[in-house]
Amino acid sequence: MISNEWLNKLDGRFPRIPLAVLPTPLEYLENLTKHLNGPQIYVKRDDLTGLVLGGDKPRKLEYLLGDALKKGCDTVITAGSSQSNHIRLTTAAALKVGLHPIGFTVHDENEKNTGNLFLSRLLGCELIFKDVSDHWDLVPFMEEKAEQLRRAGRRPYVIPISGTTDIGCLGYIRCMFELESQWRAMNVQPTALYVTCGTGGNIASLMIALSVLGIKMPIRGISVNRAKTAAAGLVMKWFHATSELVGVEATADYEVFDEYIGEGYGKLTEACKEAIRLVARTDGILLDPVYTGKTMSGLLAHIREGRLMKKDTVVMIHTGGVPALFAYADALAPAG
């Protein structure tokens, strides 16, 4: 098969450390599909990748930490919000391969000793809080810490927020190959693929893999933090960088929607709340309040607006983030 041969060559060039429990299931949401009386809806369960409650990051970290070990590093430095899935999973992955984890984070409204923050503390991450207004302002602190460690004789490896680099993107190229083999085995022919758009790397990776596989399928990214133009710019940045890295002339077929962000990153919308409750109460699947809840809210809106018809078959990639639900418990399911 082309996917196996291509991936074997990929792994021959870029070291990969197995971290995720793969393949993750491709699940048909029968009850949600019936409830909406619309397209067939499937979910790629990357919330079930293992490694401390799962998510999309282990796929990226398999290559990022492979690169770190190849370079002889002893410490991993990253950053994110107080309820960062990325810090949680990077911490777990680093510990698994014998590296010391450092995570920069911020004081924000979700800074509660629950969810991802609790798990990062439980795992023993060296958490460093900074008084900045946005977690993207943490980037200089990571570089400053790395330089301090180098001067002390340590070998740090800096992983950007969300783990999006050209090397990290290799993980979601693998995801697309895995997903394609699953829908082929299930005799399912998707007509659209929905995925969260944060840093743009996952969409870029999926498009590259589809090009290698010779499949034409629109990818619809639901932005959770940036206006359409900025989000699309990031998608194309990683699309070009990763295409060049792997030596592929790929085709870009995607669209980013920014109507579902609400007041900002990590801020609940009523549509997000509805999506989380609906999927939980129809098919028993938990979405998160930052990423997949908003992605599903976009998918639901597209069904109701007629962008998706009953004849369509949709796959949404569940990128995880479920631990963050606990930090939003009062807003989503008040006691009493």
Positions marked catalytic: 84
Give the DSSP H or E segment for 220.
Answer: strand 219-223
Measured between alpha carbons, how far is 69 from 66 in angstroms, rounded to an integer?
Answer: 5
Provide the sign of the torsion angle of the four alpha carbons 286, 317, 296, 243, taken in this order: positive
Reported residue count of the chain is: 336
DSSP 271-331: HHHHHHHHHHHHH-----TTTHHHHHHHHHHHHHTTSS-TT-EEEEEE---GGGGGGGHHH
Measured between alpha carbons, how far is 59 from 169 in angstroms, rounded to an integer?
Answer: 9
Q: Which residue has the tokens 């022919």?
A: 189
Q: Are 90 and 101 a contacting pair, CB within 8 Å?
A: yes
**Number of Cβ atoms within 10 Å of the Cβ of 22:** 16
Q: Which residue has the tokens 């004789």?
A: 153
CA torsion angle for 300, 327, 317, 41 (degrees, to 10)? -40
Q: What is the CA radius of gyration of the chain?
A: 19
End-to-end CA distance of the chain: 55
Q: Are 41 and 67 a contacting pair, CB within 8 Å?
A: no
Burial of 296 (0-12, 13-18, 19+ CB in 10 A): buried
Residue 130 pairs with which residues in a beta bridge?
106
Measured between alpha carbons, how far is 205 from 184 in angstroms, rounded to an integer?
Answer: 20
